[in-house]
Structures are given as C-alpha cells and as structure tokens.
C-alpha cells in the first residue's frame, strides 16, 4: 500500500487509529474475560434451582423405584407400591424436562453442560421401555439395578458439568458435594441388592460380590469427597457420620461383607431404618451445601462485577484520553503543516506573481512587507517554516532584482532604439532632399532603394521600442485612407514586389492609430512573404464589416499545424510578455503588443487550398470615412468625384513613389502636367498624373549608360556632403529654441519631419502627415573627416 501521496491528515489519522484500535480491542478482551466469570457465578444460582434440585428429586424417585422393581422381580406378584412410585417418578421427570427445555437453564449452561443435559434426557427416554422389561420379567435383578443406575449416573454427570465456577474453592466444594451424592447413590444400590436378596431368600449368582464392591466404592467416594470439603462442612459431615444410624448401618455393612451370603441373624428392620435415616441425612447435607455454595457465589460475582466496572471505566477513560491527546497533537501538526503549505501556495500562486506584476507596472515593492516573517514554532516544523521564510524572502528579492534588471535592459533597449530612430529619421530626411535634387534615373533608383531599406530599418528600430514597453514616435493628425495604410505597410516589406493588393473598400483609419496599424500589417505581410515560396504571390485585401474594418493577408506557403496555429492565436489575442527564449516568434510578440494597444483583433486561419490567412480586424472606434483626395490648397473644395482615389489598385511595380512636398515647398500647379526633362544619357523622367490626381514620376530608361569613375566619385561625394549637411541642419534645428513638441499652434500643428509611406500612394499625398520624433539634440553625431572635407 503506497501511503506516500496520502494527505497529512490521513497519515496522522492512520497513526492514531492503529494504537487506539489495539488499545480498545485489548480493553474489550479484558472486560470480556472478567465479565464471563462473573456471569458464571451468577449463573450458579440458576443451575442449582433449575437443574440441581429437580435433578436430585428425579434421582431420589428413581432410587425408590429401583428398590421396588428389584423386590417385585424377587417375588411372584406385582407390587401396588411400585405403580404409585412410578407415578411419582414420572411427575419428577416431567418437571425436570420442563426445566431443561427452558431458556434460563440453557442460557446459563455451557456447551459441556448442554451435552450432558441432552444425554440425561436421552437416558430418561429409556425409562418406559425398561419398565416394560421389568413388568415382563425379561430382566433379572442385576439388570434392573444397572438400568436405573445408568439413568442416575447420567444425572450425576450433568451435576458434575455444573461445577465450572471461576473460583477454585467453590468449584472444589461443588465437586465434593457431587461425589457425596454419588456415594449416596452407591448406598442406594446396596440397599436395592439386599432388598432383592431378602425377598428371594438368597443372593443370586454374583450379587454378593457386587454388593461388597459397591460398599467399598461408597466408602472410598465418601472419604475422598469429605477431604475436599471446607473445614466447617467436614466437621458437620463427621458429626453426621458419628450418629447412631450411621454407626449401626456401618456395622450391618461389615456383617454383610464378612458373611458368605445372607447373614443368618441380620436385623432387617434395623437395616431399613438405618438406611432411610442415612439416606435422608446425606441428602439434607448435600442440599444444604449446595444452597450455601449458591449463596456464597452471588457476593463473589457482585465483587467481580464491581471490579470489572471500575477497571472498565478506567480503561475507557484511558482510551478517551489517548484519543483526545492524539487528536489534539494530530490537529496541531496538521494545522501547522497546512499553514506552511498554504503560505507556500500563496507565495507561488498569488503573492509572487502579484509582486512581479506590480514591479512590471513600475510600482515600488517592499520586500519585508511582501515576505513577512511567519512564526511556526521552534521544532522541526518551525525550522521548516523558518527555512521557507528565507526562501520566500529570497524569491521576492530575486523577483525584485529580476524586474529591476529587466527594466534596466528595457531602458538600454529603449535608449539604443531611440538613438537608432533619430539617425534613421535624419537619414530619411537627407534621402528625401537628395531624391528631390537628383534627376539622374540611375541615381534616383539607387536612392529609392536606400530609402526603402531605411524605411525597413525604421520599423526594426520601432521593434526595439516596443520590446522595451514604450510606444513608437510616429503619428498622424488626420485620418488616412485604408488603401494608403496598406500601401504604407507594403512599403516597409522587403519583397513588396510579390504583394498583390486586391479589392480595398473605401475607409479611413484615425491618425492616432495609423503608425501602429502600418507597423502591425507590415510585420504580418513580411511573415507571409518569408514563410511562402519566393515564386508565389501574397494577396492583401480590405473590406468594411459590421464591427470594424477587416484586412486579410493570404500567402501560399505550407501553412501551420492546428496546434501551432492555436498557440499563435493565443499569443496574438493578448499582450504577451517578451520571452527572450522565443526569439523566433518576435514578430508575433510585436503584433500582439500593437494589437492590444488599440484593441485590434488578429487571427490566423488556414487558407484554401494551402497557406495561411491572417485576418486583422480594426475596431469601429478607429475606423472613419475615407478622407478626401485632391489638392490641399484653396482648390481643395473644387475637386470632383473623379479626383477620388480608386478603391481597386493594381499590382505594385518596382518603381518607388515620389516624395510629397513639404509645407512651404509646394510645387506649382504647372508641375501636374507631364514635363519631360533630361535625367542623363539615354534616360528621361516625366511627371505624370496618377489615378488619384497626385503626380507620379515615370522613369524612361534608354540604352544603358556607361559612367566614368570620376562621375561616380562625384556622385558619392555629393551624397556624403548631403548627409553631412543634413546632420548639421538637424543639430542647428535642435539647438534653436522652439516650442516643445506637441505645443504647436492649434490652427496648424506641425511635426518634426514628414515621411511618405513608400511605394504606392502615400499618407502625405492624401493630406496627412506622419509625425516622427526629431533627433536628440543633446547628442549630435560627430562629423567624419570625409564629411568635413565635403
């Protein structure tokens, strides 16, 4: 039986039940052993009055009937006295049968006495048949004596079985009285044999020898029985035997023993009177001794019961005390162990996670208050509790240290990310100026590629900010069209040329969520391109739904197993804690953080026939009507319906979109028509109107031009010089006292810098501005020697 996993209460209960059960069983056993003898002593009175007296009456009547039956067999006629004696015998036997069949006697008798009673009843059942043999003279005098002597012997065997008293003295006295009764029975056999011989005038063959043996046995039994009697009873028996009748009967017995047959001068009257007196005297002595025996057994039984009651009460009291002590100690142990267990579970399941959560929220935690000292005593359990107190305090301190370390690492990440963001923003601003000043198609295409890489670098820098628990700096004042948000996300993906934009229903996204939604979509679209074959397409579409706006991204990859997909959906449904060990799912962490910030729901589903579909549900409170498209100046109100952006867009080509003009540097209206200009040998660029009314540069590439090394060197020097100027301008702008960010005039808030959304129609072209933080003014980047020379 394995008890290792038992609760502590069950183990303590098992420890208590074993000894207590053994003690209780021992108490019951001892009580039973003591109670049995007391019941036997009390039953002695029942045995005497229900078996002793009725049985002795039956014995006396059988002895008289035996004598008369022997006399009748010795004579020639039937004796009327024998018939009367048989009636008296039948009445005594009937009374004995009634007592033997009663419940009182049977309940008081043991198994041995029950057997002897059954034998007695069986012997008495043979009495009618024996009488028939006697009346038919089918049995002689010796056989008749043997018939009645067998019944009387069964009665004395039952009397002997009564002598099972627990007290040795009482039991010895009872056996002595029974032996005296047997001696009296032998005296009756002698009288019956002599009566038959006197009636017949002589002894039958062998009767004289039998008479001599009977007299010798009677005297031997009497002497042996008297020796076991108490002193008072011995004295009384001697006085009885010293009487005239006993002396005369003893002398007559001696004469019978000496004679070889009937003595010629035997005084028959003297024999009969002495025999009757001795029989009656011995019977009275036996009955008196039995009554005294019964009377002495009752007080003895009461004393035993009193002692039994005292011992039983004391034993029961000891058992109760043991049980109470065991319960008290067991409950104390169980309560203390349960207290240690409860404290451990509370620390592991509630207090420690709460401490960690509060630390992550930036709250101060007092280690002494969160891990108070608990007193569990000074024994082994108390020592375990003290050790647990130390463990708990160490665990809380370790949690504080861990969260402090993580917070410091987050600050490091955030500091590095902010610095990287500042450099990327300045790089993008410099690229914007270079793109507007460069008209060479090849150089412009290279700058566009650098611009695209910088845009992706900006997204990765924002990932670090999100990992650190902060919010990226990009934001928009005005709503941005959903199609522009999707295009902006596509522009931040490496393989944007593999993305097909399907049907995008008109809608707008509030400016405060545009930057995060673009970042979220860019992460998901990039995952779709990375985890699908390079020769497949990725479809992106958007549609308005009753509870918001849904964007679907579908790839044609191998898809995900149900278990992996469920795990990913569980992470995307909540804002997970960043786990450095799960760096392979960094994009899911970023998406989950961004989605939780704005209440956006992201779910992965299996695509048909293969691949994965990502459904991004933007909530209703972030969705608005699609903003108007067209000129942003005074002619904005005159824009027609044809100037609105088309909801269905075609596949993006590899040509980057031009940068929108900054405030104060708007192009003149003459920039809208197609204006060819020379961009280099064999190439030209036209400014052609787009489908949404915005200008779009179209590269016209002629035969490939072969540039000399000097021209390439001049181009790279110009790029380095422009970068240096951009950094100097940024440093001057940071040093110039201006209004703090976010405190621009309410009529027209401005942003530190504006960026387009990349390939396709941009948010700037739709009239919205992307707000990006300016480079940190306190730590301008030092210029290299090449930049200073430029």
**The pLDDT of residue 38:** 67
Banded pLDDT at 673 (limits 50, 70, 90): very low
Share of the chain above pLDDT 90, in %: 22
Distance in Å from the first CA to the final CA of the chain: 89
Please determine, for residue 744, whether its predicted confidence score (pLDDT) is greater than 50: no
Residue 563 Cα distances to 559, 569, 604, angstroms: 12, 10, 12
- DSSP, collapsed to helix, strand or coil, labels residue 271 as helix
Per-residue pLDDT reduced to its tens digit, 58-107: 999 999 999 999 999 988 888 899 999 999 999 999 999 998 888 888 88
75: nearest Cα among 197, 175, 184 = 197
What gap in Å lies between CA 510 and CA 600, rounded to an integer? 13
**The pLDDT of residue 709:** 61
Mean pLDDT computed over 208-228? 90
Please determine, for residue 647, whether its predicted confidence score (pLDDT) is greater than 50: no
Q: Specify the pTM.
A: 0.45
Instruction: Please name the residue that has the structure tokens 């280690």.
Output: 367
Burial bucket for residue 517 (CB in 10 Å: 0-12, 13-18, 19+): buried
Please determine, for residue 776, whether its predicted confidence score (pLDDT) is greater than 50: no
CB-based contact 249:274 (threshold 8 Å): yes
**The pLDDT of residue 7:** 76
Banded pLDDT at 584 (limits 50, 70, 90): low
Q: List CB contacts of 578: < 8 A, sequence separation 6 or more.
A: 467, 589
- DSSP, collapsed to helix, strand or coil, labels residue 12 as helix
**The pLDDT of residue 522:** 92
Q: Which of 110-119, 393-402, 534-543 has the highest mean pLDDT?
A: 534-543
Q: Which of 437-441, 555-559, 601-605, 709-713 has the highest mean pLDDT?
A: 601-605
> Encoding tokens for residue 517?
């939604």
**The pLDDT of residue 422:** 80
What gap in Å lies between CA 96 and CA 124, rounded to an integer? 10
Residues making up the chain, counted from first to last: 790
What gap in Å lies between CA 294 and CA 291, rounded to an integer? 5
Per-residue pLDDT reduced to its tens digit, 513-532: 998 899 999 989 999 999 89
**The pLDDT of residue 703:** 45
Mean pLDDT computed over 274-292? 88
> Encoding tokens for residue 146?
């043997």
> Pairing mode, if any, of strands 548-554 and 538-545?
antiparallel
CB-based contact 516:557 (threshold 8 Å): no
Banded pLDDT at 713 (limits 50, 70, 90): low
CB-based contact 474:594 (threshold 8 Å): no
What gap in Å lies between CA 182 and CA 576, rounded to an integer? 107
> Encoding tokens for residue 719?
């790029």
What gap in Å lies between CA 164 and CA 141, rounded to an integer? 37
Banded pLDDT at 445 (limits 50, 70, 90): confident
Banded pLDDT at 746 (limits 50, 70, 90): very low
Please determine, for residue 789, whether its predicted confidence score (pLDDT) is greater than 50: no
**The pLDDT of residue 550:** 95
- DSSP, collapsed to helix, strand or coil, labels residue 586 as helix
Banded pLDDT at 693 (limits 50, 70, 90): very low
Mean pLDDT computed over 703-728? 64
> Encoding tokens for residue 501?
């934009």
Stronger pLDDT, 695 or 307, i.e. the higher one:
307
């Amino acid at each position: 039986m394995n008890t290792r996993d038992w609760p502590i209460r069950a183990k303590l209960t098992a420890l208590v039940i074993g000894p207590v059960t053994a003690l209780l069983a021992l108490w019951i056993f001892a009580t039973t052993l003591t109670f049995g003898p007391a019941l036997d002593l009390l039953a002695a009175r029942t045995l005497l009055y229900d078996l002793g007296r009725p049985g002795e009456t039956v014995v006396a009547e059988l002895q008289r009937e035996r004598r008369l039956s022997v006399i009748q067999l010795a004579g020639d006629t039937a004796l009327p006295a024998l018939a009367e004696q048989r009636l008296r015998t039948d009445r005594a036997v009937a009374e004995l049968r009634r007592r033997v069949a009663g419940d009182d006697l049977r309940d008081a008798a043991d198994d041995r006495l029950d057997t002897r009673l059954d034998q007695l009843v069986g012997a008495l059942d043979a009495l009618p048949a024996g009488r028939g043999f006697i009346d038919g003279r089918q049995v002689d005098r010796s056989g008749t004596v043997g018939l009645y002597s067998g019944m009387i012997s069964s009665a004395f065997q039952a009397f002997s079985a009564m002598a099972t008293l627990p007290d040795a003295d009482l039991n010895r006295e009872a056996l002595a009285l029974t032996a005296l009764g047997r001696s009296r029975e032998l005296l009756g056999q002698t009288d019956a044999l002599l009566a038959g011989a006197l009636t017949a005038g002589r002894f039958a063959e062998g009767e004289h020898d039998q008479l001599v043996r009977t007299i010798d046995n009677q005297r031997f039994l009497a002497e042996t029985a008297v020796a076991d009697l108490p002193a008072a009873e011995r004295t009384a028996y001697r006085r009885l035997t010293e009487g005239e009748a006993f002396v005369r009967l003893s002398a007559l017995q001696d004469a019978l023993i000496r004679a070889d047959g009937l003595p010629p001068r035997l005084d028959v009257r003297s024999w009969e009177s002495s025999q009757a007196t001795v029989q009656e005297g011995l019977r009275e002595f036996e009955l008196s001794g039995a009554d005294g025996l019964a009377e002495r057994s009752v007080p003895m039984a009461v004393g035993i019961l009193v002692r039994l009651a005292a011992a039983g009460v004391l034993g029961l009291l000891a058992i109760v005390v043991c049980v109470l002590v065991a319960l008290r100690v067991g409950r104390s142990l169980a309560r203390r162990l349960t207290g240690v267990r409860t404290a451990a579970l509370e620390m592991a399941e509630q207090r420690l996670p709460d401490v960690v959560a509060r630390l992550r929220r930036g709250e101060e935690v007092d280690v002494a208050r969160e891990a108070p000292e608990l007193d569990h005593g000074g024994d082994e359990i108390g020592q375990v509790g003290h050790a647990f107190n130390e463990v708990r305090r160490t665990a809380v301190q370790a949690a504080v240290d861990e969260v402090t370390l993580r917070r410091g690492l987050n600050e490091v990440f955030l500091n590095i990310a902010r610095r990287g963001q500042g450099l990327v923003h300045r790089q993008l601003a410099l690229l914007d100026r270079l793109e507007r000043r460069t008209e060479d198609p090849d150089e412009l295409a290279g700058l566009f590629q650098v611009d695209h890489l910088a845009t992706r670098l900006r997204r990765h820098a924002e990932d670090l900010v999100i990992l650190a628990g902060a919010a990226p700096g990009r934001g928009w004042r005005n709503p941005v069209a959903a199609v522009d948000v999707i295009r902006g996300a596509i522009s931040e993906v490496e393989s944007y040329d593999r993305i097909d934009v399907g049907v995008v229903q008109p809608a707008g996204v509030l400016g405060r969520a545009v930057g995060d939604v673009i970042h979220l979509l860019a992460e998901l679209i990039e995952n779709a391109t990375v985890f699908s074959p390079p020769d497949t397409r990725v479809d992106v579409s958007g549609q308005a739904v009753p509870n918001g706006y849904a964007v679907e991204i579908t790839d044609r990859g191998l898809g995900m197993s149900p278990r992996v997909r469920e795990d990913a959906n569980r992470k995307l449904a909540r804002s997970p804690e960043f786990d450095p060990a799960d760096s392979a799912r960094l994009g899911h962490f970023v998406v989950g953080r961004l989605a939780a910030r704005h209440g956006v729901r992201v779910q992965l589903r299996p695509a048909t026939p293969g691949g994965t579909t990502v459904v991004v549900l933007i909530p209703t409170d972030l969705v608005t009507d699609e903003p108007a498209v067209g000129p942003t100046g005074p002619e904005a109100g005159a824009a027609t319906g044809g100037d609105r952006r088309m909801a269905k867009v075609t596949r993006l080509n590899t040509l980057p979109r031009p940068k929108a003009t900054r405030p104060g540097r708007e192009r003149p209206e003459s920039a809208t028509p197609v204006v060819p200009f020379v961009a280099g040998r064999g190439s030209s660029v036209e400014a052609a109107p787009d489908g949404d009314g915005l200008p779009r540069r179209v590269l016209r590439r002629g035969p490939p031009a072969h540039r000399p090394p000097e021209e390439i060197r001049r181009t790279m020097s110009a790029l380095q010089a422009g970068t240096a100027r951009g950094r100097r301008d940024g440093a001057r702008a940071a040093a110039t006292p201006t209004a703090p960010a976010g405190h621009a005039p309410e009529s027209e808030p401005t942003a530190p810098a504006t960026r387009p959304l990349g390939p396709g129609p941009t948010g700037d072209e739709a009239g919205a501005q992307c707000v990006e933080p300016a480079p940190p003014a306190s730590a301008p980047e030092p210029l290299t020697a090449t930049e200073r020379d430029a």
